[in-house]
Amino acid sequence: MRVKLAAVLIAFGLAAAPAFAETIEVRMLNRGQNGSMVFEPDYVELKPGDSIKFRVGHKSHNAASIEGMVPDGYAGFKGQINEEIEVTFDTTGFYGIKCSPHFAMGMVMLIKVGEVELTEAFRKAEVPGRARGRFDAIFARMDQAKAAQ
């Protein structure tokens, strides 16, 4: 009986512990649930200090931040083709991510760090047509999720 109680207390202790920085995996794929040339998942919410590890699901992809779709003053990052990089996001805001060779084919994703609202300027940032469609689909899912709250 005493052992069981201890186990319950430990479980509660873990659940109540402050959240530590996490690393979330995103795969770069030729084909996924949303079609061809995708990041999966294509939308991730992080706490400041969390990281994303970009995994090579299929070859010939990279992960890079999109100029004009990052917080003011953010230096940006660019992985090499086939490079698995881990990127830590410390600054609150939205980050548009692209695969450089497949940007025009719509290979993009969105990262939200901390509590922040989408601005019209961010929604309308200039990107190639197929990337526009993918971002608009992500924004629509976010809007639906918010409306459902």
Q: State which of positions 20-39 bind Cu ion (CB under 5 A).
A: none
CB of 60 vs Cu ion, minimal distance in Å: 6
Please identify which residue in 69, 94, 95, 102 interacts with Cu ion, judged by CB under 5 A: 102
Cβ-based neighbours of 86, under 8 Å, separated by 6 or more? 23, 51, 52, 53, 54
Instruction: Give the residue with the Cβ less far from Cu ion, 13 or 129.
Output: 129
Number of residues that bind Cu ion (CB under 5 A): 4
Instruction: Give the residue with the Cβ less far from Cu ion, 67 or 143.
Output: 67
**Region of 2-10, 17-25, 57-65, 127-135 interacting with Cu ion (CB under 5 A):** 57-65
Q: State how far the Cα of 79 lies from the Cα of 143, in Å rounded to an integer.
A: 30
Bridge partners (DSSP) listed for residue 65: 97
**Region of 18-26, 69-77, 103-111, 121-129 interacting with Cu ion (CB under 5 A):** 103-111
Please identify which residue in 26, 44, 87, 107 interacts with Cu ion, judged by CB under 5 A: 107
Half-sphere exposure of 37 (CA within 13 A, CB side): 18
What distances in angstroms separate CA 11 from CA 4, 14, 15, 17, one per listed residue? 11, 5, 6, 10
Q: State how far the Cα of 149 lies from the Cα of 3, in Å rounded to an integer.
A: 40
Residues at the site binding Cu ion, with contacts judged by CB under 5 A: 61, 99, 102, 107
